[in-house]
Structure formats: structure tokens, C-alpha cells
Amino acid sequence: MPTPLKTVADIWAQVVIAGSNECWLWNGYRDKDGYGRTCYNRKKHVVTRLIFAFTHGRDPVGLVCHTCDNPSCCNPAHLYDGDHEQNALDSVARGRAKYKAHHGTDNGFSKLKEQEVMDIRWLADNGATHKQIAGVFRVSAPLIHYIATRKYWRHVPEAA
Ligand SMILES: [Zn+2]
């Protein structure tokens, strides 16, 4: 088990800080996949999420990923969150709101438009979770799964 840590400084004390472009390795407890894990404020945390929150002043959106593919790296410059994914979802949601305003009705699941099916496929292919997409389109996650895997709406062509 990781040793409980109490302050932000305690967390940083376990990071081997190197050059700004180098990987800063976590010197504390790592799980079997190499991700640093720790206890902080009496809760268990993935270290990169804590580092992200410290350096950005907000919680990460979705997953924290590494540009360096090094799971134990804590260099804030190598960490990014699901914000880019969220942006894609937001723009789809905005487009949908506009569509609704224009047509005056909310389309239920049975009336998903071809464009929406293409948007759903695109989001799924670009890493959005089925649950996230389901939230945007207000349909069930299993339905998104069937659309994303091309089991439903097979007649809708693939986006160019
Ligand atoms: Zn790195």
C-alpha cells in the first residue's frame, strides 16, 4: 500500500524532477501498470491526476494521458486531460441545440438523423466514451455501442 501523504509538497517530494522536456518519474508506490498511486487527504489517488490538478488549478476532465507514454511520468508538460474530447462533445452538443432550435422538436432515439449517427461514430472513433456520447445525444450507452460498432444504422454511409 502507498504511504499516506498530507501536503502538495509531500507529493512533489516523491517526484524525480528533471529537465523541462524530460520525464519526471514517480519515486513512490506504483501499480502493476507503472502508474504512481498515493493516498492524499485520506483518499486513494492516481498521482498524475493530482499533479494535473495542482498545476492547472482544476480537476482533469476525463482521463489524464501522457504525451510521452510513460505511465510513471509526472512532468506536467507531459500530461493532458480529456479536454480536447470534451471540446468535440461540446461542439456536437451546440450543433444539436442549434438543430433543435431550427426544427422546433426534440428528436427521440427513433429519429436520429444520419448526421447524428455520423457524429456518434466520429466521437466514438476519436476516443469519447459511449457514456459521454449517450449524455450528449440523450440516448442509452448500449445504443451508442450498437451505433459505434456499426450494428445499427448500417445504411448510413461512413463520413468522408
Ligand atoms: Zn514524460
Could you tell me the distance, in angstroms and rounded to a whole number, from the CA of residue 29 to the centre of ligand 1?
A: 17
Could you tell me the distance, in angstroms and rounded to a whole number, from the CA of residue 105 to the centre of ligand 1?
A: 48
Could you tell me the distance, in angstroms and rounded to a whole number, from the CA of residue 52 to the centre of ligand 1?
A: 13
Q: Are 127 and 85 in contact (CB under 8 A)?
A: yes
Could you tell me the distance, in angstroms and rounded to a whole number, from the CA of residue 13 to the centre of ligand 1?
A: 17
Could you tell me the distance, in angstroms and rounded to a whole number, from the CA of residue 54 to the centre of ligand 1?
A: 17
Which helix (H) or strand (E) segment is 46 a member of?
Answer: strand 43-46
Could you tell me the distance, in angstroms and rounded to a whole number, from the CA of residue 8 to the centre of ligand 1?
A: 20
Tell me what pLDDT residue 45 has.
92
Q: Is the dihedral of CA 65, 67, 73, 78 positive or negative?
A: negative
Compute the distance between CA of residue 39 and CA of residue 61 in angstroms, rounded to an integer: 21
Could you tell me the distance, in angstroms and rounded to a whole number, from the CA of residue 42 to the centre of ligand 1?
A: 27
Q: pLDDT tens for the chain, 160 residues: list them.
A: 566 777 888 889 999 999 888 999 999 999 999 999 998 888 899 999 999 998 888 888 888 888 888 999 999 988 888 765 655 666 666 666 555 555 444 444 445 677 788 888 888 888 888 888 888 777 788 888 988 999 888 888 887 6
Cα separation values, 108 from 79, 83, 140, Å:
38, 28, 11
pTM: 0.52
Question: Could you give the count of Cα atoms lying within 13 Å of 25 in the half-sphere of its Cβ?
Answer: 5
Segment 59-87, tens digit of pLDDT? 888 888 888 889 999 999 888 887 656 55
Could you tell me the distance, in angstroms and rounded to a whole number, from the CA of residue 37 to the centre of ligand 1?
A: 16
Q: Are 39 and 5 in contact (CB under 8 A)?
A: yes
Cell representation of residue 104: 422546433
